[in-house]
Structure 1
Amino acid sequence: MTREEYLKARIKEFGSQREFAKFVGIPHSTLFSILKNVGGASIDNILKICKGLGISADDLAEMEGVEDTPKGYYTNNETAEFAEYLRTRPNARLLFSAAKDISKEDMEKAVEYIEFLKSKNK
């Protein structure tokens, strides 16, 4: 698997390429070009992409020729399923994009607490 294939797979977990580009603060057209040729990208854009995916630039550099399919972002399947549910809720999408080590129960508690806080402000 090439670095480009790895990035495409990871970005797909986030949602669309357009959503991810907006999330990391680069134009969609720039992301599209990078996904064709990572080696030609500026270091600033690579760092933004890596930060958005929760990986280091060193990790990405070492990925050329990796044969395995990428492991999912979340370490627990139940958490991954709940995160996917939350991903479809616009108000919760960004909140859990970096919570890969959290349990589903803790994620549910966080959602409940956030909803409680929002209800207090109405």
Structure 2
Amino acid sequence: MNPYEKIKDLTRQEGISVRELEKRLGYSNGYFSKWKTVSPNSDGLSKVADYFNVSLDYLVGREEKNNTSFASDDLNKILDNAKSFDGKPITENDKEAIRLFLEGRMSK
């Protein structure tokens, strides 16, 4: 799968269009569609990888998994150590909501 196809897949998972991604990253309309026939530049690839939190290898098809692999135990430790947000204590309900959100994002 070429980088453009990976981008289409990632934007579909994110619930946005390729055009919306181009806007968010400051590119002109059709910027990514050129990658169907022309090799992408490293700046563009890096911005897409950072936006979706995936590796450059993933975008160019060298691996099949993205780099968002946290063990559930790691996530629990992080949340257990979280003390406050915006000066307010984080409740157990807040921690659970954060945990569910992050697990959903990491499973993409």
TM-score normalised per structure 2: 0.49
- By relative contact order (CA 8 Å, sep 6+), the higher-ranking structure is 1
For the pair shown, the structure with the greater C-alpha radius of gyration is 2
TM-score normalised per structure 1: 0.45
